[in-house]
Amino acid sequence: MFGALFEAQPSRAASGQNDLVMDTHPLQLTAHGLVLREWTSDDLAVMQELFDDPDVAYRTPLASPFGQAAALRYLHSAERARRDNDRIHLAITTDGHQALGEVLLNRATGSIGYIVGAAHRGQRLAVRALRTMTEFAHTTLALPKVILEIEPDNQPSIAVARSVGFHPSGSAPESVTDKGRTYGLLAWEHNLITADQG
């Protein structure tokens, strides 16, 4: 259960600026120059700026257009998912305040997703957020494997996956139909054993 895991005291590894630090109430992860924190009602306007984007609409199941009502529904969904131990939605920040994107983990499936706002791309935010969430999934939640689901033509996301040490799973693409578009998703995986050896 998340609750039991989150009762642990925040911990810091022996040394290094990229060591994962976890604050648990509310959940906050600090590593790789980022502070990943939970969304709050103060973020509704910035959520709209980040998620009401043609690329986000094309590549994700998020509502489009993504207005105030959609932001409020999304916030409530994220809060409910955390309470129900289903998913963790964290805003990507460098300072613990200004949200630049989102990284999320579905604990049941072990899948990770991320979005970086158009104005904030090119800073390796996705790589750093994915690395932080992957480390959290392996070390704190003890998930032996985490996955990404990426369209074969999504070269930026494939580059992010490779940078963090994910590799293609070898399984057949999953066919998805969303917003009138049918496309395939390839699974990329990151295994705890591989991470330990690397």
Residue whose token pair is 């998930």 = 143
Place of tokens 């969303």: 178
CA distance 185 to 2: 28
Burial class (CB in 10 A: 0-12, 13-18, 19+), 137: buried
For 129, phi and psi rounded to 5 degrees?
A: -70, -40
Considering the entire predicted model, what is its pTM?
0.86
pLDDT digits (tens, 9 = 90+) for 151-180: 999 999 999 999 999 999 999 999 999 989
- pLDDT, tens digit, for every residue of 101-143? 999 999 999 999 999 999 999 999 999 999 999 999 999 999 9
User: 129 and 92 in contact (C-beta within 8 Å)?
Assistant: yes
User: What is the DSSP code (8-state) at residue 153?
Assistant: T
